[in-house]
């Protein structure tokens, strides 16, 4: 019995007892190595997202994707069918032209319509590039100074309440009519979704920082670069999809309001309306709708690599 007790005591003493570092020592150790901090914060943030339901943001495959594609396809097919049916009934008057006549007019008048649409698209793309630069800078600013989110929210409300059709003539008093004025109105129309997007991104970027960031003493900019930015990808995706078509609509509204001279897609719509050429008006509207959908697809294409990264 004595010998067995002695052997048991030796075995107990031979087993090493693991030491658990305190949070303070761990924080000081990780804070000394920037790459280690970034890697550990990123791993823990991903696990924290999983615990908080972050996996729900991941797309579900299988039946959900098939259902979404089927619904989209049915909507695309049903739209021209309903359009043609309404035009055939004549309930909305002779000015409601069907899709067949609209497409025929667009084909016959394509050179003239495209001649007027090209400056509209050029001003739209210029405004989009300016707004993308504003978005890139704004994402970093609100990540470092989250208190600015409240001011941006107020800015979006003010800009959203301004009627562009009334602002454009006032701007024409101080800005030369033409591409420059159309671009300014385009940027103003796109600032509303951009400001709202930055407000939402400020909240998404700081998610989890109060716990993990405070634990590892991570600066705001480093947290945003390694963790917070990826939290804002869904917000950025929705914001860009809203911003690009809004810029195109803003360019057309600017041309309606006299921001340009005699050239522009909006000018074609106004002339066709007052000269009672409904087929030409509907052809211009169809081209505008196609361009807006193309810009929506461009936004989705821009965000595709980032969406794949967070899956």
| 3-state per-residue secondary structure call for 100-169 | HHHHHHHHHCHHHHHHHHHHHHHHHHHHHHHHHHHHHHHHHHHHHCCCHHHHHHHHHHHHHHCCHHHHHH
Most distant pair of Cα atoms in the chain: their distance: 114
Alpha helices, H only, the chain: 2-14, 23-31, 34-51, 63-89, 99-108, 110-144, 148-161, 164-172, 179-205, 214-215, 220-223, 229-231, 233-256, 265-274, 278-309
Q: Which of the residue ranges 129-138, 145-154, 234-243 would you say has the lowest mean pLDDT?
A: 145-154
Task: Identify the band that residue 213 occupies on the pLDDT scale cut at 50, 70 and 90.
Answer: low
Residue 3 is predicted with a pLDDT of 41
- Note the pTM of the prediction, 2 decimals: 0.69
Q: Which of the residue ranges 16-30, 166-180, 238-252 would you say has the lowest mean pLDDT?
A: 16-30
Q: What is the DSSP letter of 261?
A: S
Count CB neighbours of 110 within 10 A: 13
Residue 110 is predicted with a pLDDT of 93
Is the pLDDT at 280 greater than 90? The verdict is yes
Percent of the chain surpassing pLDDT 70 = 73
Q: Which CATH architecture has domain 97-311?
A: Orthogonal Bundle (1.10)
Q: Which residues of 74-87 are buried (b: 16+ CB within 10 A; e: fewer)?
A: eeeeeeeeebeeeb
56-100 pLDDT per residue, tens: 444 444 567 788 778 878 888 888 888 888 888 888 888 888 889
Residue 168 is predicted with a pLDDT of 81
Alpha-carbon separation of residue 86 from 11, 18, 79, 104, 176 (angstroms): 90, 78, 11, 18, 43
Q: Which of the residue ranges 83-87, 160-164, 263-267, 286-290 would you say has the lowest mean pLDDT?
A: 160-164
Is the pLDDT at 129 greater than 90? The verdict is yes
Maximum average pLDDT range among 109-113, 157-161, 253-257, 302-306 = 109-113
Rounded Cα distance, 80 and 68, in Å: 20
Mean residue pLDDT of the chain comes to 75
SS3 61: coil
**Rounded to an integer, what is the distance from CA 134 to the centroid of its chain?**
13
Is the pLDDT at 55 greater than 50? The verdict is no
Over range 246-266, report the average pLDDT: 84
Over range 118-129, report the average pLDDT: 91
Residue 106 in tokens: 């667009």
Task: Identify the band that residue 286 occupies on the pLDDT scale cut at 50, 70 and 90.
Answer: very high
Those residues whose C-beta lies under 8 Å from the C-beta of residue 258, and which sit 6 or more positions away, are 168, 169, 172, 177
Task: Identify the band that residue 303 occupies on the pLDDT scale cut at 50, 70 and 90.
Answer: confident
Question: What's the half-sphere exposure (Cβ side, CA atoms, 13 Å) at 48?
Answer: 16
Is the pLDDT at 292 greater than 70? The verdict is yes
Residue 285 is predicted with a pLDDT of 92
Residue 54 in tokens: 């972050």
Residue 304 in tokens: 């595709």
Residue 107 is predicted with a pLDDT of 92
Over range 104-113, report the average pLDDT: 92
Residue 211 is predicted with a pLDDT of 63
Question: What's the half-sphere exposure (Cβ side, CA atoms, 13 Å) at 269?
Answer: 21
Rounded Cα distance, 198 and 152, in Å: 7
How many residues are present in the chain?
A: 311
């Amino acid at each position: 019995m004595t010998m067995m007790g002695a052997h048991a005591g030796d075995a107990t003493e031979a087993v090493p007892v693991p030491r658990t570092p305190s949070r303070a020592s761990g924080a000081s150790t990780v804070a000394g190595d920037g790459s280690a901090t970034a890697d550990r914060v990123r791993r823990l943030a991903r696990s924290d997202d999983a615990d908080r339901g972050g996996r729900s943001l991941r797309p579900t495959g299988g039946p959900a994707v098939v259902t979404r594609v089927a619904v989209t396809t049915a909507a695309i097919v049903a739209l021209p069918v309903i359009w043609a049916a309404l035009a055939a009934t004549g309930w909305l008057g002779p000015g409601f032209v069907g899709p067949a006549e609209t497409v025929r007019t667009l084909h016959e008048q394509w050179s003239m319509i495209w001649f007027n649409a090209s400056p509209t698209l050029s001003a739209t793309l210029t405004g989009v590039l300016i707004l993308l630069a504003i978005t890139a800078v704004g994402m970093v600013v609100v990540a470092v100074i989250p208190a600015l989110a409240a001011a941006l929210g107020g800015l979006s409300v003010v800009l959203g309440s301004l009627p562009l059709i009334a602002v454009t003539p006032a701007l024409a008093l101080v800005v030369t009519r033409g591409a420059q004025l159309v671009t300014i109105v385009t940027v103003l129309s796109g600032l509303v979704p951009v400001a709202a997007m930055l407000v939402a991104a400020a909240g998404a970027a700081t998610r989890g920082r109060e716990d993990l960031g405070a634990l590892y003493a991570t600066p705001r900019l480093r947290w945003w670069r390694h963790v917070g930015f990826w939290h804002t990808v869904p917000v950025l995706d929705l914001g860009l999809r809203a911003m690009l078509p809004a810029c195109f609509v803003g360019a057309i509204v600017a041309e309606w309001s006299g921001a340009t001279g005699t050239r522009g897609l909006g000018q074609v719509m106004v002339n066709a309306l007052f000269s009672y050429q409904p087929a030409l008006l509907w052809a211009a509207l169809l081209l505008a709708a196609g361009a807006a959908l193309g810009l929506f697809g461009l936004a989705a294409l821009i965000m595709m690599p980032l969406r794949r990264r967070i899956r």
